[in-house]
Amino acid sequence: MSLAWPSLSDLLVSPDQAAPIGLVGAPLSAGSVTPGRCDLAPAALRAVLPRVARYDIDAGRDFGAPIANLGDLALHGLTIEEATLPIRDRVVESVLKHSLTLLIGGNNAVTRPGLHAMAAACGLALEHVGLITLDAHFDMRTTADGLANGNPVRALLEDGLPGRNIVQIGLAPFANSKAMHDDALAAGNLVLTLREFERTGVAASIARAFDRLSHCPAIMVDCDIDVIDRSQFPAAPGARAGGMAARDFFAATRLLAGNPQVKVIDLTEWDPPLDHTDLSALTAGRWLAEVVAGFAART
């Protein structure tokens, strides 16, 4: 009897090998509203992959497309402004070479250069690219004092990304301000609060997001891990009690990764030292498994 354990770690290949998926580590911690060690997340994700199997018992099959491990950018000591160009350049390289790029933060400030990189690599103006966020927060803090992990959506709006090209899913009660909510609606963002997401259902919510962005040939998905209920992901500084169920987060991730319009998916705001158990790491590993399974469903 075979005791083989095909795991996600088997999928990682060197950058010079052909692979439909590229993985870029962006260990950025500068500018965090809550200081921490999100810079440790890319390494923590790779470390947990041997513990995550490739076999989906419900589908009755192994999933697995090769993932080019493009390494981690040297961002230590850099401000967000200084880190923006290196992140953008590496993601451009990956998008040009791979059907899907995974951008592993680091904090949520990596989303802005990731979206600009996707647009540049696809030869598209911001009017023709979309952004879907799974996030407890609007990320609409002011940019008056510079870039931060709390303002990438506002910064992108100021860059010229139209609000009609932004879908925000999972906004949590008692975790945002009315001013930010008002600004998001005034900009034209489609806002699906956590309660609305739960009432509508995962599949219908994601279908609504893609319908809204049907005019965008390229879409970036921002998976801010703090959207998950804090009891199910303790290592997210911004997570709240009563957040999105991890099961729903996984289902949404798989559906999002299955759409060929999606060129870049990031994972942000995971601060590994906050969880002294392995729960958060295994949840992040399962996120990658769902991405791989969703990608396999592309036609």
pLDDT, one tens digit per residue, over 90-116 is 999 999 999 999 999 999 999 999 999
Helices (H), 148-188: 152-159, 178-187
**pLDDT class of 188 with cuts at 50, 70, 90:** very high
Closest CA to 34 of 281, 243, 235, 249: 235
| pLDDT single digits (tens) 120-165 | 999 999 999 999 999 999 999 999 999 999 999 999 999 999 999 9
What does the pLDDT read at residue 1? 34
Q: Is the pLDDT confidence value at 2 over 50? A: no
**pLDDT class of 5 with cuts at 50, 70, 90:** confident
The ranges assigned to domains in the chain are 8-296
Helix (H) or strand (E) holding 101: strand 100-105
Phi/psi zone of residue 6: left (φ > 0), alpha (ψ -120 to 50 degrees), beta? beta
Four-way CATH pick for 8-296: 3.30.1360.120, 3.40.800.10, 3.40.50.300, 2.40.70.10? 3.40.800.10
> How far from chain centre, in Å, is Cα 45?
13
R_g over Cα of the chain: 17
**pLDDT class of 34 with cuts at 50, 70, 90:** confident
d(CA 262, CA 217): 8
What does the pLDDT read at residue 35? 85
- Is the overall model pTM greater than 0.75, yes or no? yes
